Structures are given as structure tokens and as C-alpha cells.
Amino acid sequence: MKLNCIPYLLLLVFLTSVSSRAQEIVPPLDIPLKLSGTFGEFRPTHFHAGLDIKTQGKEGFEVKSIDAGSIRRIRVTTTGYGKALYIEHANGTTSVYAHLKKFAPKIQALIKTYQYEKKTFVIQKFLSLGELTVEKGELIGYSGNTGGSMGPHLHFEIRDTKKETPLNPLQLGLAISDSIRPIVQGLYLYDINDKRLGEKAVVPLTRKNDSVYTTDVLSLGGNKAFGVRLFDRQDNSYNRNGVYKAELKVNGVPAFGYTFNSIDFKDGKKIDALIDYATYKNERIRIQKLFNNLEAEYSFLDKNDPDGILSFEADRAYQLVFQFKDFSGNSTYIQLFISGIEETKTPPIASAKEKLLLPEKDYLFEDGPYTLYIPKQSFYQPTGIAFKVAGDTLNLETDDAPQKKGFDLTFRHPELDSLGYQQMCLAKFIAGKGKKKDRWSYVPMLKKESHLRTQYAYPGQYIFTRDSLAPSIVPKNFRKEQWVSNYQFLEVEIEDDFSGIASYEARINGEWILMEHEPKNNTLTFDFDDLKATQARLEFKLIVKDQVGNTALFETNLFRKPKTR
């Protein structure tokens, strides 16, 4: 497949460069490299932009720069990549190391100085080329579990520096043992009517040998398409990862396919269009489409290539070959033989919703206190919608079709006193799954006079409510009025039951101190190495605010033997 995100010549130069440098780079970790995530892998909200390297379920492994370079960006956040480093290299690429536990000493000192200067834990620092350099193999940090990570690992990326597009890090020649072929879980057949999905049917497969699946001859007519459930696995790793290449050929001619050598971050916004979205929404089963009926544009698909929608004609024979390949070259194939028959016309599936929305138009709905604005191109295709309001509760339903972008939802609240205005908010209903109970989730919003507004509304049930409870603050490893001379860290547990923590500020003897926030365990941590106080008495004060401004205050005196000069 052609790649739109980087010119072909530039990609060829990059591939040649990394091939020649494969033996020169230093792996980012000294331990055997095992993957829990591959490049381009389908995730719930995006295509994975790098490799997730396992760290044996532990934190604290040394992370090293794969090559000499200049640190261009240091980021610390409680979400996303957590603690992350971006290192620019001379060959036009940037390596990224995310979810770190902490940085190497010289980097840690720099970012901590900046945090104290700005008086914030969450921070982003951009550096000039050459301002802070590292050598090949130099220690840059320690593996961790910060940010949006769900377990200890290193997220590792390679990007084209100029375009900031992710490139497949496996092209660097990292030593990852893989002799396992991709594993097919199921093949699915779809009727396609005016590029809309009809009913899906499971295609029964028989394993011919260790690499080929087949089936009896199928009799099909009209427009059809296929989807697949599959995963890949590397040696000594039980994680189910994504495949590197998927391709469909009909009678030897390419009909659809993609290869994950590079992606664009914009691709992630359209991931719902490349899966059977209705099945994923209702059954939590992700079927990857081997066709592009919604005409969404992706950097790894050329818009001039076939879209994977197949037309079977009567009295004609077809051979379909699906190939699924990992980066190490292990391949799995599906062979289908189709006997063409007369097409049986099926009417389009009618929407059960009250109104059908056309993508080329915008719409405005008003009912009670709610106003819903749906801009043009919010959907890929005509989609039904139901907009019902009962009191302060809104039920917003659409067909099971992917959205291109969120809706603009406004709630006009009644006159409130200043406290009521501060505490008002919107909430969305979240159905419980497994052992989790049903709940109402806070919706981030803008407040303006008598309105609440969010531009990221998706189908669901909404309600106007109030958050009147302040966050809780509980000492975690100390008591009030305690001597803490032998402590390395001071830990406090903070938690908010609804809208979530928005900000916090801690001081000792009136001086701002850096407390590191880890939302996974609701903990704030202060390192006593930062303490500048010269007296034993420490007046500790912590203020925590939630998203609507409710404020909690914790104060106590602690005692610690002063540092000796």
C-alpha cells in the first residue's frame, strides 16, 4: 500500500537508514524485549503509535536512549503518557519513552526546577536543540506505570521529527523473538447495500494446515465484504497483539489491505469507521473490517486503492486469499472459493429512530432546557436520531453508527444562587459492566451565565445535577503532630466522589512544595529531599479543589530534625 503520511522517497530513506543502523542502536531496556502492544494495534480510541514493552510486572528498570541525541521535550502528566521524554536524533527521527517512574538525575533536576518555578506538578518543558544532550545508551529514566498506563511497562515510539508522524519501531531491528503466526478467531461476511452494512454471517473455517484456513465453496451474489477477528502473539508472551499486515486478493488482484509502517495521529479519530462499530458497541467484540465502506481517509490507506467491497456476478468463480502477517514474516492465510449467483435484492435497513440525519446538513434540536447542535459531517452516512427530554433528563439515541465528532450540547439551568451556580454540572449515565455498578459520570463543560455547554456529547442519557461534596484528604503514612525525621516521603490520600480532582496546592511553612499526584491510588507524595526548612516545626497545609470548585483544607504541624550543614 502507498503511504500518504510521509513521501515514498522519505520512507525509503528511513527504511534504508534504520536497516543499516539496526545493529548500532541500543535497546531501550536491558531485559529481554517482550511486547504487550504492537504498532498500529487497534485500541478502543486509537491506533497504537508505538510498542508496549513488558517490564516483568515491575517498575524501576533502567531506560536508555537508543542513540545519541538532544532532549527536546519533557512532559509530566497524570493522564496519557505520564512522565515522558522526547529525544531528537541526527537521522531525522525522534524517540519517545513514556509511562516512566522517574527521570535520570540530570533530567529530574531540570524538570523539578521548572516545576518549582511554575508551582505545578503537571508540566511540559520544551528544550532547544543541543540544550540537553544524551549519548547512545545513556540512562534517561526508569520504567514505570504513570499516566494512562494500566500496568508497568515502557511505551516506546519512533517518530518522523519534522512531520511528528509515528513510524514502526520494529524497523529498528529490535531483538524480539517471534515464531508464532497470527491467530484467526473468526471471519465474517457482510451484505453491503448502498455501502451500508447489512446482516453479518459467520464464515465457518476449517484448518487446512498450520498456516492456511479454508471452507466449503460459498455461493454469493451482489455486493459483499468481509471482516475478521484476529490477534498476533510473540514468543514467551501471552498478550494478544495486533498484526503488521492485512491483505485481501481476489483472483490474484489486490482488493484491500494495509501495512503498518507508519500512521498519523489523526487516524485514531476514525478508528470506529474501520471496525464493525455496532457489534463492538453492543457485544464488545472488535471485528476489523477488511473494507472501507464509509470512505474515511487514513494515512495507511491510499484513497485510490480498492475499498474491499466485492461484487459477485452469476456464473463466475472467485478465489479469495486473505493474508495476515506479523513483522517477523509469520503469515496466516484464509482461502475462499466463491461461486457467483444471481443477486438477491435486500432493502436497506430502516432506522427505528425518529429522524434521519444527512451528513451534509447541520441540525438544531431544542426541548425543555436542552439545545443540541449537530454540525455538518458529524456522521459518515445518514443516521437516525431520537432526542427526548423529560424534566432535567435527556435521552439522546442514534443508530449504531460511528460518529466523526461530538455534538454541541447546551443546558439552560434555572436561576441559582452563587453556590448553586458553582456546583451545577452535567452528568452522563454509564452502565455497569461485570462487577461494576451503574453510575453517573461527570461531563467536562464550560459555564457561561445561565448555560452549561459541552462540545463532546455522544449518545446516552444526561442529567443536570449538583456536586456539593468537597474532596476528602486523609494522611496516608503519618498522623497529625507526628515526628517524621526518618521518613523519605510524605503521603496523603485525596479523592473526590464525583467530578474529580481539578487542582491542589501544598505548602510547608508558607513555601510551596511539589507533591506528585498518582490518581491510580489517589496519592500525593512529597520527597523530603526537597525540604528547605531549617527548623524542626513544619506547618503543613494542603488545599484540594474538585472540578466545580468545592474545596477541602487539611492542616497540621509535623516535626523533623533539621538538616545539618
Question: CATH number for the domain including 542?
Answer: 2.60.40.1220
Whether residues 242 and 116 fall in one domain: no
Q: How far apart are CA 219 and CA 212, in angstroms?
A: 21
Please give the mean pLDDT across all residues of the chain: 91
Which distant-in-sequence residues (6+ apart) come within 8 Å of 177 by Cβ?
Answer: 32, 234, 235, 236
Residue from 251, 232, 107 nearest 180 by CA: 232
Over residues 181-201, the pLDDT tens digits come to: 999 999 999 999 888 888 899
What is the pLDDT at residue 43?
A: 93
192 shares a domain with 74: no
Would you call 423 helix, strand, or coil by DSSP? helix
On whether both 483 and 552 belong to a single domain, the answer is: yes
Provide mean pLDDT across the span 95-100: 98
Same domain, 150 and 219: no
Percent of the chain with pLDDT over 90: 78
Q: Are 204 and 336 in the same domain?
A: yes
Q: Are 548 and 512 in contact (CB under 8 A)?
A: no
535, 537, 539, 540 alpha-carbon torsion, rounded to 10°: 100
**What's the rounded mean pLDDT across residues 255-270?**
95
Q: Report the pLDDT value the prediction gives residue 522, as an integer from 0 to 100.
A: 95
If asked whether residues 304 and 408 sit together in one domain, one would say no
Instruction: Copy the grid coordinates of residue 176.
Output: 524480539
CATH number for the domain that contains residue 102? 2.70.70.10
Among candidate residues 311, 340, 369, the one where a domain is terminated: 340
Which of 410, 436, 466 is a domain's end point? 466
**HSE of 192, CA atoms in CB hemisphere, 13 A:** 25
pLDDT confidence of residue 451 = 85
| pLDDT grade for 368, boundaries at 50, 70 and 90 | confident
Answer whether residue 349 is part of any domain. Answer: no
Q: Is 247 among the domain residues?
A: yes
Q: What CA–CA distances, in Å, run from 488 to 115, 129, 236, 466, 527? A: 20, 36, 38, 40, 6
21 and 60 in a single domain? The answer is yes
Q: Which of 142, 172, 202 marks a domain boundary?
A: 172
Checking if the pLDDT of 9 tops 90, the result is: no
Specify the pLDDT at position 348: 67
User: pLDDT tens digits for 273-322?
Assistant: 999 999 999 889 999 999 999 989 999 998 889 999 999 999 999 999 99
State pTM to two decimals: 0.91
Residues 370-404 as b/e (b if ≥16 CB within 10 A, e otherwise) read bbbbbeeebbbbbbbbebebeebebebbbbbbbbb
Same domain, 231 and 166: no
Query: How many domains, in total, are found in the chain?
Result: 4
pLDDT one-digit tens code per residue, 98-156: 999 999 999 999 999 999 999 999 999 999 999 999 999 999 999 999 999 999 999 99
Say if 345 falls within a structural domain. Answer: no
What b/e sequence results for 448-487 when a residue is b if at least 16 CB atoms lie within 10 Å of its CB, and e otherwise? eeeebbbeebebbbbbbebbeebbebebeebeeeeebeee
Residue 165 corresponds to which cell in the numbers above?
508522524
The pLDDT of residue 231 is above 90? yes
**Does the structure show a pLDDT above 70 at 158?**
yes
> Looking at the structure, do residues 158 and 208 belong to the same domain, yes or no?
no
State the pLDDT at residue 5.
Answer: 40
pLDDT tens-digit readout, 400-445? 889 998 899 998 877 777 787 888 889 999 988 777 889 999 999 8
My answer on whether 513 and 551 are in the same domain is yes
Determine the residue type at 103: F
Mean pLDDT of 166-191: 95
The CATH number assigned to the domain holding 423 equals 2.60.220.30
The average pLDDT across 263-278 equals 94
Over residues 455-488, the pLDDT tens digits come to 888 999 999 888 999 999 999 999 999 999 999 9
How far from the centroid of its chain's Cα atoms is residue 529's Cα? 35
What's the rounded Cα separation, in Å, for the pair 292 and 543? Answer: 51
Is the pLDDT score of 20 beyond 70? no
Q: Looking at the structure, tell me whether residues 450 and 515 fall in a common domain.
A: no
Look at residue 386 and tell me if it is in a domain: yes
Tell me the pLDDT band of 565, cut-offs 50, 70 and 90.
low
* Residue 375, domain extent: 355-466
Residue 382 lies in a domain: yes
Q: Where are the alpha helices (DSSP H) in 146-241?
A: none
Say if CB 237 and CB 38 are below 8 A apart.
no
Q: Give 28-54 pLDDT, tens digit per residue.
A: 999 999 999 999 999 999 999 999 999
- Backbone φ and ψ for 206, nearest 5 degrees, come out as -120, 135
Stretch 352-366: mean pLDDT: 89
Q: What grid cell was written down for 147?
A: 499516566
- Predicted confidence at residue 564, as pLDDT, reads 67
Q: Are residues 240 and 302 in the same domain?
A: yes
- Is residue 565, in this structure, part of any structural domain at all? no
pLDDT surpassing 70 at residue 19: no
Give me the pLDDT at residue 354, please: 80
Strands 331-340 and 218-220: parallel
Residues in a beta bridge with 379: 403
In a domain, 71, yes or no: yes
Query: Is 2 a member of any domain?
Result: no
